[in-house]
Amino acid sequence: MKSDPFIPQTESTALLFIDMQERLLGAMPEDISATIAKQKILLEAAKLLKLKVIVTEQYPKGLGHTTEELSSIFDPKWPVIEKSTFSSLGESNVRSKLNDSAVKTVILAGIETHVCVLQTAIDSIAKGYQTVILTDAVNSRNSIDKETAFITAQSAGAVLMTVESMLFVLMRDSKHPAFRSISKLLR
């Protein structure tokens, strides 16, 4: 059976921004700063592209809220949804936000790659969404966990891309209204 071609459109794409919380960040490796730098670009670009964005926080009472460094970039219209399930799609409010729109493609960024990101990817694929994991916008405490999660997700049908590559796929043309602004973000 031939699958649909991978051609995401901004109006039918949602970004799930998963669990970038203070207490979880403290357990991440030193390269988390590079991950956060890519996520900042992604969040700014999501506003420029008018992407649907859903933010999740895993048990914020115990793990804190999304780090201020990232939450300060959020558009006030983006919902921040508390969850207890590892998969973001295990939370009914996330599923209803996706179902209430014409989303066909789900982009994933956040932590940890081998737990919440991977389980969200598998559930997203099972629900029929084209699913993209941004490899430079996710992280895990151990690199072997992250790399194994990429293999698992890809074998389940996820597409692996970088932030920059995904943004250019979404713009598709240098005449896109956000092209200049996003190009500046990427420099």
Q: Measuring CA to CA, how many Å separate 62 from each of 31, 83, 91, 142?
A: 24, 12, 18, 22
Answer yes or no: 184 catalytic.
Answer: no
Which residue among 38, 83, 97, 146 is the active-site one? 83
Coil, helix or strand for 64?
A: coil
Active site residue 83: yes
State the DSSP H helix or E strand holding residue 25, giving kind and residue range, or none if neither.
helix 22-25
SS3 18: strand
CA atoms within 13 A on the CB side of 49: 30
Enumerate the β-bridge partners of residue 139: 111
In the annotation, is 175 catalytic?
no
Q: 56 pairs with which residues across the strands?
A: 18, 81
β-bridge mates for residue 133, sequence order: 108, 160
Question: Which amino acid, 101?
Answer: S
Catalytic residue among 38, 52, 97, 116: 116
Give the catalytic positions in this structure: 19, 83, 116
